[in-house]
């Protein structure tokens, strides 16, 4: 029990390290610390331009779809959710898209990100989390 939990943790750390190296950013900079929690107190709405779309395959902590969003005030990492789930909702994101994101701003040592709850692009909107910030894709290991 104990050792399997540890090896799972080591696998996660390795995946985070590999991804961080590949992308030239550390996991921390990406906002992917363990225990990333949606916090209703830090919910905010941002409008900006998609600078980059990151789609990381697999089921690890770094997997899923992420945006780099450039607003007037800042460029911030936006964490959407599992790629398959996001795709099913029917909006594709591409560089240059104008989007409005409502989500929780999470901060830690050296990282900052938005955990998206809703994203609107043109006339389309997707809801990734319920009003309490619970992921609509359900619990993942
Ligand atoms: Cu992310």
For the segment 118-141, what is each residue's pLDDT rounded down to a tens digit? 999 999 999 999 999 999 987 554
Question: Residue 128, SS3?
Answer: coil
What is the whole-number distance in angstroms between the Cα of residue 4 and the centre of ligand 1?
Answer: 26
| Superfamily covering domain 29-127 | Nucleic acid-binding proteins (2.40.50.140)
What is the whole-number distance in angstroms between the Cα of residue 122 and the centre of ligand 1?
Answer: 22
**Nearest one of 78, 83, 91 to 123, comparing CA atoms:** 91
Q: Could you state, in order of their start, the residue ranges of all structural domains in the chain?
A: 29-127
| Main-chain phi, psi angles of 5, to 5 degrees | -65, -40
Q: What is the pLDDT of residue 5?
A: 56
Question: Residue 81, SS3?
Answer: strand
Q: With a cut of 90, say whether residue 11 has pLDDT above it.
A: no
Q: What is the pLDDT of residue 66?
A: 94
Q: What is the pLDDT of residue 52?
A: 97
Cβ atoms of 117 and 127 closer than 8 Å:
yes
DSSP structure string for 106-118: EEETTEEEEEEEE
For the segment 47-72, what is each residue's pLDDT rounded down to a tens digit? 999 999 999 877 776 678 999 999 99
Neighbours of ion ligand 1 (CB under 5 A): 66, 79
What is the whole-number distance in angstroms between the Cα of residue 86 and the centre of ligand 1?
Answer: 13
For the segment 80-112, what is each residue's pLDDT rounded down to a tens digit? 998 889 999 989 999 999 999 999 999 877 778
Instruction: For the beta carbon of residue 23, count every other beta carbon within 10 angstroms.
Output: 16
Q: Round to whole Å and give the CA distance between 87 and 54.
A: 13
Cβ atoms of 43 and 117 closer than 8 Å:
yes
Q: What is the pLDDT of residue 3?
A: 55
pTM of the model: 0.74
Cβ atoms of 110 and 29 closer than 8 Å:
yes
């Amino acid at each position: 029990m104990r050792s399997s939990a540890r090896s799972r943790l080591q696998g996660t750390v390795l995946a985070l390290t590999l991804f961080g190296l590949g992308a030239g950013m550390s996991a921390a900079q990406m906002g992917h610390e363990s225990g990333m929690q949606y916090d209703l107190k830090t919910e905010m709405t941002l409008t900006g331009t998609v600078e980059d779309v990151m789609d990381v395959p697999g089921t690890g902590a770094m997997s899923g779809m992420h945006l780099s969003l450039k607003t007037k005030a800042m460029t911030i990492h936006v964490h959407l959710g599992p790629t398959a789930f996001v795709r099913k909702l029917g909006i594709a994101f591409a560089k240059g898209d104008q989007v409005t994101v409502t989500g929780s701003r999470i901060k830690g040592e050296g990282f900052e990100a938005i955990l998206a709850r809703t994203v609107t692009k043109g006339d389309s909107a997707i809801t990734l989390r319920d009003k309490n910030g619970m992921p609509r894709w359900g619990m993942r290991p």
